[in-house]
């Protein structure tokens, strides 16, 4: 009776635990890059499941077929030399599995890094995504808008995110649109994404960057092009302009809610590719120093 209650309690605990888990958003893609990564994940899962099932079947077969039996005390097993087919099988099949998964991984990596399929002929919308402890700043140069901790993006248009950080290395990740990519100080990385469905999603910093990184999240609203244009017009009419003093306050460590501004901080604090490294010498200064060394 005790064992029955123990088993029932354990089963109920597992059900309650799993019921409290959030949905696996990477398996609910809203764009072509995320759909590609979902396919790679499922291929890997089914491949590994095949390996596990085969191994357990062979294990059970071997345990049953070669289990200990009553034999004479003077019994000596026959000497069996290596079997070439067994060796080919045990070595060749794992090699083929590794080659297959490597091919899938390399091919999908190149596809995930490029402009999404079906959008290569369109001009991407550029959004600068910069991180600070522990916030995300999104600059829209084309729309002359800046937001804090939330994104508005149009569907069916490629988005080119240009990533960098003002302090610790962060990882920009929207699970339902694609994989993560690092945002680092003094350099700029690019991430190509696109949304094909209207949806409300979330993104986050998936790289540990201090005590507040767990709450360094942002909302993503993928809307139609018409609704996106309406949002831009509303922001231009109602939002306050951003200036250097306001932006310096936003960079202070801490958590803030969502904010919206007209203009972008790129006007007075350009991204690394436009103004060299933050706090470092620019290219002209480096060239002048090289010339001085060559003269000496």
Strand partners, 201: 220
User: Tens of pLDDT along 197-227?
Assistant: 999 999 999 999 888 889 999 999 999 999 9
Which DSSP letter does residue 142 get? T
- How far apart (Å, rounded) are the C-alpha atoms in residues 28 and 261? 32
- How far apart (Å, rounded) are the C-alpha atoms in residues 109 and 69? 53
Domain range summary for the chain, segments of one domain joined by +: 24-65+82-113, 125-275
Give this prediction's pTM. Answer: 0.80
What is 125-275's CATH number? 2.60.40.420
User: Tens of pLDDT along 44-62?
Assistant: 999 999 999 999 999 999 8
Q: Quick check: helix, strand or coil at residue 96?
A: helix
User: Tens of pLDDT along 136-189?
Assistant: 999 999 999 999 999 999 999 999 999 999 999 999 999 999 999 999 999 999
Residue 235: alpha-carbon gap to chain centroid: 29
């Amino acid at each position: 009776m005790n064992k029955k209650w123990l088993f029932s309690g354990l089963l109920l605990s597992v059900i309650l635990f799993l019921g409290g888990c959030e949905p696996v958003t990477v398996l609910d893609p809203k764009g072509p890059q995320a759909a590609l990564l979902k396919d790679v994940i499922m291929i890997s899962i089914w491949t590994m499941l095949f390996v596990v099932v085969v191994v357990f079947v062979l294990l059970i077969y071997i345990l049953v077929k070669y289990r200990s039996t009553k034999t004479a005390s003077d019994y000596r097993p026959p000497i069996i030399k290596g079997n070439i087919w067994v060796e080919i099988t045990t070595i060749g099949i794992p090699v083929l599995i590794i080659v297959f998964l490597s091919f899938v991984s390399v091919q999908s990596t190149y596809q995930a890094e490029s402009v999404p399929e079906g959008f290569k002929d369109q001009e991407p919308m550029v959004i600068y995504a910069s991180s600070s402890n522990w916030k995300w700043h999104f600059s829209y140069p084309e729309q002359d808008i800046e937001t804090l901790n939330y994104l508005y993006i149009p569907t069916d248009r490629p988005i080119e995110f240009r990533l960098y950080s003002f302090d610790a290395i962060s990882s920009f990740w929207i699970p339902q649109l694609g994989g993560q990519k690092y945002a680092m100080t003094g350099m700029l990385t690019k991430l190509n994404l696109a949304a094909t469905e209207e949806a409300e999603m979330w993104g986050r910093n998936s790289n540990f960057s201090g005590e507040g990184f767990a709450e360094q999240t942002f909302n993503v609203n993928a809307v139609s092009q018409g609704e996106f244009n309406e949002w831009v017009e509303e922001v231009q009419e109602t939002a306050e302009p951003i200036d250097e003093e306001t932006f310096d306050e936003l960079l202070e460590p801490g958590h803030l809610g969502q904010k919206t501004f007209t203009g972008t901080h790129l006007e007075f604090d350009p991204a690394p590719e436009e103004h060299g490294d933050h706090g470092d010498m620019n290219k002209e200064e480096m060239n002048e120093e090289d010339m001085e060394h060559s003269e000496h």
